[in-house]
């Protein structure tokens, strides 16, 4: 049941990210210095909530207690449920996945 909720959350995030666009105003973009919280707020918060409380997508405030960074990166890359794939890519996806994996 948790997997279904997480899948729905991730899918919702993907949809929100696709709807909101990349927000790629900054030069350099996918560099190691990416701010994962800022990326989340730009791409994911419309479905998962600004405080990770959930909404259209599932709650992510404790996602790290259920999924590893690798699991989260896989969901971001492949999409899940209604969340489209590749809302974040490369270093941005890794940074957000690591940040979320620490939410326990």
Query: How much is the pLDDT for 34?
Result: 78
DSSP state at residue 82: T
Query: How far is 99 from 73, CA to CA, in rounded Å?
Result: 11
Token pair 């973009």 is found at 29
Return the SS3 of 83.
strand
* Sign of torsion over alpha carbons 53, 31, 74, 12: positive
Q: What is the pLDDT along the chain (104 residues), one digit of tens a residue?
A: 655 554 555 555 555 444 444 444 433 344 456 799 999 999 999 999 999 999 999 999 999 999 999 999 999 999 998 898 999 999 999 999 999 999 99
Query: How far is 27 from 37, CA to CA, in rounded Å?
Result: 18
Query: How much is the pLDDT for 17?
Result: 47
- Cβ atoms < 10 Å from Cβ of 96: 26
Query: How much is the pLDDT for 30?
Result: 42
Rounded to two decimals, what is the model's pTM? 0.69
């Amino acid at each position: 049941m948790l997997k279904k909720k997480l899948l729905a959350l991730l899918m919702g995030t993907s949809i929100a990210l696709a709807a909101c666009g990349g927000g790629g105003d900054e030069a350099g973009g996918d560099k190691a210095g990416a701010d994962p919280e800022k990326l989340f707020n730009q791409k994911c918060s419309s479905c998962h909530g600004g405080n990770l409380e959930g909404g259209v997508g599932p709650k992510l405030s404790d996602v790290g207690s259920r999924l590893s960074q690798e699991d989260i990166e896989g969901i971001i890359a492949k999409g899940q449920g209604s969340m489209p794939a590749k809302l974040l890519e490369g270093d941005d996806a890794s940074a957000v996945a690591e940040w979320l994996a620490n939410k326990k």
